[in-house]
Chain A
Amino acid sequence: MEEKKLPEVLEKETTRRDFLRGTAAAAGSAIAITAIGGIAPKKAEAQYSVQTAPGTKPFAQKFLYAGRHNCTGCRSCELACSLFHTGNVRPALSRIWVNKYKDIVDVPVICWQCDDAPCIAACPTTPKAIQRDAKTNGIILNEKICLGAKCMKCAEACPAQYIRGNPDTGQPLICDLCGGDPQCVKACHAQSGNPQGPCLMSRPVGLGLNLSFRNVTPDEAGKDLATQLFYPNVEGKRVVAAKTRKGR
């Protein structure tokens, strides 16, 4: 039943995406990051405060968002995620992870809650072992049906290369949004305090930009960031070595 609805949703999203293509996003995701960098945190902050106002019932947080340029690589999101899902602090079981690119940038790798969910589409079992929870928008894994390490079609299909295998069971680790209250976002907000503010944010409605974000792999995202921050040394090489140690 879910699958039949998907094309419609996808159609809408595609239109918006095309619109973006025609404007800024065509120039690459690096620019997309810069463009929303200044706006998104403020909006999210407002949303965050509305949601936590006294006496207000919090909205279910249906979308995650990572302002990658704000990540300091502290991994508190990984710790909070694994603690919430397993009761232990063990980042190998975290549903969010921080990729290191050339040791100069950290890239939080998250599930972008794609409307078309290529992971679910790729799941070969009937019924599907991974399904979207209509209420929370999180993706729920049915451990009894999932084929585990020998399949991992979902991981292959994920355009963000976000899905990792559980080292114990071999089954995929996918974000379930903690039932509408993502722990990683809370952890990130608690950690933050650099001039830019937190990296991870969640919202009850989508930002509408997730499709251009999700289509980069962790390494591509790292490259974007490295270019954005460390141009002209986008590879993070140690130039001093080349200048002073000729012939070594």
Chain B
Amino acid sequence: MAAPKGGNFGKVLEIDLGKLTYKTRPVSDEILQQYIGGRGLGAYYAVTEYKAGKNPYDEDAFVFLGPGPLAGTMCVSPRTSIVNKNPYTGNLNHAECGAHLASEIKWAGWDGIYIKGRARKPTWFSVVDDKVEFKDASKMWGKTTEVAHEMMVREMKDPLIRTIVIGPAGENGVLYSCLIVERFRAAARSNAGSVFGDKKLKGFAVRGTKYAVPVVDNAKFLAAANVAKEANINNPGAGRRKVWGTAASMETNNFLTGSLIVKNNQTTWWPDVVRLGAEEAERKFWKRHVSCTNCQAHCLKLGVLREGKYTGLVAESPEYESGGLLGTNLGMKKFDEMTALIEACDAYGLDNISTGGVLGFVTEAVEKGALKPSDLDGLKPTWGDGDTYMKLIDKIAYKQGKAGKLLSQGVARISKQIGKGTDAYANTVKGRELAAHDPRGDKPRAYSYCIGPNGADHHEGTNTTSLCQTAMMDSLCLCSFTSMFVWGAQTDKVVTDMINPLCGWNMKTEDFWTAAKRIMTVERVFNVREGVSSKDDRLPKRMYAEKLPEGPKKNSIFTEEDQKKMEATAYGFFGWDAKGIPTEAALKSYGLDYLIADVNAARKKYNL
């Protein structure tokens, strides 16, 4: 077991909340070469430490936060990857978020933070270089995310400390709660919020001052990192994100690609998007651009509302997904009300996408008579009714009343509970609400929703190549906006040029693809053990049954042929069989022999 030469320290910080102790968990260079870090390393931990059917709320269940080998160096835009078994979907999921957290973890001398155990009372902890301190969070418990964040900053007496916290939703065990990083950023799609809440962990704060990431060949690495950065500076697509952020997609996906989510996927056409999208925000709302560490894209836009009911609200809004799900998906027409909904979700620590999905579904259910206002504490959500949605979000976060208890379960469970044909418009994949891209208008997005381990995640790649690239970017923990989107076909070369002099590896471009397939397959094996197969790699019923009624992709539908083609292409590429189970030959070729027995057991158990 060799220690890493560069890029990593070979140390993961292991936190045991039950005993309130911490220790160093060594990581060998061999493991890092195979699983890279971040998402890949987390998947490796999960698949080797968990048995099938593990309860994600067990005391020894973990949440792993990995910054990847490139964070804290001159490389562009590092992110933090969060991996855990998701209580919401029952699968192994990962979430990524930006800001400066990843860099600070590296400068504190760690390759990741592995959290297990359950504290007896509300706790938070701080990591300043080698020093870890456990602190009482009873005063923070129940506070919204930005207040908890402020309290941590104040207690540490350090404005430069970086935090990650949960809100009331996570504390109350709302299944689709999330982690909020440095107030405005969210790591939502692994739904680690309720796991943190179960562990009685409010969050933690990190500051690194003592360490620099070791680099094996500095001159070569800096030259390669510069190439990576230059590509960004001159890229026209990146230029668009600099000015508009992701919000610009709201308009383009409505008027050009016909893939904007509208009214729970009833349509993709919502001309009122001009009152919600990037141009409106630029005219009336945005004040400044904010970027993550060493990033040129600065896609986060902060603004302040200067009119309407929520005057004075400082918010990060809209992003494409949040503006889609809590804007057009709910038939909103008012920018300020949409922004307030987004901010409320962030304050409570709720996944914007799932919350928007639930509200959209419930509105349609009320419209079609499957739910009555009496089931929702007398509230009657209708399209565009921002006030009622705000009240419902409040109820969800605190699981308050009949409405709160029902809605906090998520679309799949609500639909199962109430029945009445609601499954026809319960738009979920693997138990999770669709993101804001309608796969009837944007068919390649089905790869992301179906083949990626998360299920209904917009950010998994839109073909086999980009599925692989995304797996690698999430494991290297780079932002796709400044990496694969601008490096394109050169991605494997740019990455290996950087990673080899950094870590002292001899990774060839072929190895890039093998590592990506390995990571995808490890996650797949984990989920296969939980019973996932091709039957789960399907879009919601509506996508196969209802043609788009209007918009640029009018009459478009996701056909069974599309589905078959996608399955054949993706399974074939990754070496999975027709049912989506990794074959023995494929497992061997990725060096995953130790998982063959698991896969065979799953085949037997689920009759695959």
A residues sitting closer than 8 Å to B (CB atoms) are 69, 72-76, 79, 82-83, 86-92, 97, 99-101, 103-106, 167, 190-191, 193-195, 229-233, 236-241, 243-245
> Could you tell me if A245 and B394 are in contact, using CB atoms closer than 8 angstroms?
yes
> Could you tell me if A92 and B210 are in contact, using CB atoms closer than 8 angstroms?
yes
- Beyond A74-B298, A245-B394, is A89–B72 a contact (Cβ under 8 Å)? yes
In the complex, B378 has a CB within 8 A of chain A: no
> B289 contacts which chain A residues (CB < 8 A)?
72, 194
Shortest distance in angstroms between A247's beta carbon and chain B's nearest beta carbon?
A: 11
> Could you tell me if A240 and B290 are in contact, using CB atoms closer than 8 angstroms?
no
> B100 contacts which chain A residues (CB < 8 A)?
75
> A72 contacts which chain B residues (CB < 8 A)?
288-291, 298
- Beyond A75-B294, A100-B159, A194-B242, is A241–B347 a contact (Cβ under 8 Å)? yes
Interface residues in B155-213 (C-beta closer than 8 Å to A): 159-160, 182-184, 208-213
Q: What's the Cα separation between A90 and B209 when bound, in Å?
A: 7
Q: What's the Cα separation between A69 and B100 when bound, in Å?
A: 20
Interface residues in B463-515 (C-beta closer than 8 Å to A): none
Q: What's the Cα separation between A243 and B347 when bound, in Å?
A: 13
Q: What's the Cα separation between A100 and B310 when bound, in Å?
A: 25
> Could you tell me if A238 and B146 are in contact, using CB atoms closer than 8 angstroms?
yes
> B344 contacts which chain A residues (CB < 8 A)?
240-241, 244
> Could you tell me if A106 and B294 are in contact, using CB atoms closer than 8 angstroms?
no
Shortest distance in angstroms between A80's beta carbon and chain B's nearest beta carbon?
A: 8
Q: What's the Cα separation between A230 and B286 when bound, in Å?
A: 10
> Could you tell me if B313 and A239 are in contact, using CB atoms closer than 8 angstroms?
yes
Interface residues in B268-306 (C-beta closer than 8 Å to A): 287-296, 298, 302, 304, 306
Shortest distance in angstroms between B399's beta carbon and chain A's nearest beta carbon?
A: 14
**Closest chain B residue, CB of each to CB of A232:** B312
> Could you tell me if B159 and A190 are in contact, using CB atoms closer than 8 angstroms?
no
**Closest chain B residue, CB of each to CB of A229:** B287
Known: A90-B211, A194-B242. 15 other contacts (CB 8 A): A72-B289, A89-B72, A92-B208, A103-B146, A103-B149, A167-B209, A190-B229, A191-B296, A229-B287, A229-B288, A239-B314, A240-B340, A241-B344, A244-B390, A244-B394
Q: What's the Cα separation between A86 and B291 when bound, in Å?
A: 25
> Could you tell me if A238 and B144 are in contact, using CB atoms closer than 8 angstroms?
yes
> Could you tell me if A100 and B304 are in contact, using CB atoms closer than 8 angstroms?
no
- Out of A79, A87, A88, A243, name the residue touching B310 (CB < 8 Å): A243
Interface residues on B, range: 35 or more
> Could you tell me if B182 and A194 are in contact, using CB atoms closer than 8 angstroms?
no
> A79 contacts which chain B residues (CB < 8 A)?
74, 293-294
- Beyond A72-B289, A74-B294, A91-B107, is A232–B242 a contact (Cβ under 8 Å)? no
- Out of A83, A87, A194, A229, name the residue touching B304 (CB < 8 Å): A229
In the complex, B243 has a CB within 8 A of chain A: yes
**Closest chain A residue, CB of each to CB of B390:** A244
In the complex, B311 has a CB within 8 A of chain A: yes
> Could you tell me if B291 and A74 are in contact, using CB atoms closer than 8 angstroms?
yes
- Beyond A75-B100, A76-B294, A238-B144, is A190–B213 a contact (Cβ under 8 Å)? no
Shortest distance in angstroms between A45's beta carbon and chain B's nearest beta carbon?
A: 16
> A236 contacts which chain B residues (CB < 8 A)?
314
Q: What are 9 A-B interface contacts by the 8 Å CB criterion? A: A75-B293, A83-B74, A103-B146, A167-B209, A193-B233, A195-B243, A229-B287, A230-B302, A238-B146
Q: What's the Cα separation between A190 and B243 when bound, in Å?
A: 16
> Could you tell me if B212 and A90 are in contact, using CB atoms closer than 8 angstroms?
yes
> B242 contacts which chain A residues (CB < 8 A)?
193-194
> B306 contacts which chain A residues (CB < 8 A)?
232
- Out of A87, A191, A238, name the residue touching B343 (CB < 8 Å): A238
Q: What's the Cα separation between A99 and B160 when bound, in Å?
A: 7
> Could you tell me if A240 and B313 are in contact, using CB atoms closer than 8 angstroms?
yes
Q: What's the Cα separation between A240 and B74 when bound, in Å?
A: 38
Q: What's the Cα separation between A105 and B159 when bound, in Å?
A: 12
Residue among A103, A232, A233 with the highest chain B CB neighbour number at 10 A: A103
